[in-house]
Amino acid sequence: MSYSRQSMGSGSSGARGYEFGRTYVVRPKGKHQATIVWLHGLGDNGSSSSQLLESLPLPNIKWICPTAPSRPVSLLGGFPCTAWFDVGEISEDLHDDIEGLDASAAHIANLLSTEPTDVKVGIGGFSMGAAIALYSTTCYALGRYGNGLPYTINLRATVGLSGWLPGWRSLRSKIESSNEAARRAASIPVILAHGTSDDVVPYRFGETSAQALAMAGFRQVMFKQYEGLGHYTLPKEMNEVVHWLASRLGLEGSR
């Protein structure tokens, strides 16, 4: 029995009315134990994510692969393409597009909000998708979005490949100001992986993001360095993600 992919209609409107694109679902071929929203990189779509994920030996995971809105991107001189938020440059300060970050994080939370209560939920992504996965993880720890509205999804795992954490400089002070935020930060496992030859999101941004998370009290952060890897994924890297998810989420057949 093979994985089935289901195509769902376009979703909610994001910041400034940008429409999220089509969502693709990879159904579990075994007992449904976990659901992970997987987020594509700049200019990509949910379909290509689903094709990668349906080949992974994780029969107990349901994958939800949304497509970002098409919007003008400052990094590309205002050229429109699919993007989870607007980005001009990657930086440690949160002068990123908070409205866009929050809209995408809320869209992802909405996709997870209808999952059964006995199913563990997580978020993963590549490049800009990893950035939004990590931003969502900080929203989970703080219990709120950047705009102050409550974040209510109980995340259990985060995967970030070749990405970065938006606004990492201010994270520690925010987490340390709340015992509840510190407890949630300490409870969620996070795996980050980055290639040393990445010429799109330089390696140092991945490494610094992992360090910033650890210093802010995220105690279960694993950072994997891939020597010579550019801005793409490797089978070896995906295999490590498979094993990490299976053990962290306690999936059947993983012990």
**Calpha distance 49→47 (Å, rounded):** 5
Mean pLDDT of 149-176: 91
Dmax over CA atoms of the chain, in Å, equals 50
pLDDT in tens, 107-138: 999 999 999 999 999 999 999 999 999 999 99
Q: Write phi, then psi, for 252 (nearest 5 degrees).
A: -60, 140
| pLDDT above 90 for 40 | yes
Q: What is the pTM of this model?
A: 0.92
> What is the edge-to-edge ordering of all strands in the sheet holding 155-161?
5-10, 22-26, 61-65, 34-39, 120-126, 155-161, 190-195, 221-226
Cα dihedral across residues 92, 95, 100, 105: positive or negative: positive
| pLDDT above 50 for 187 | yes
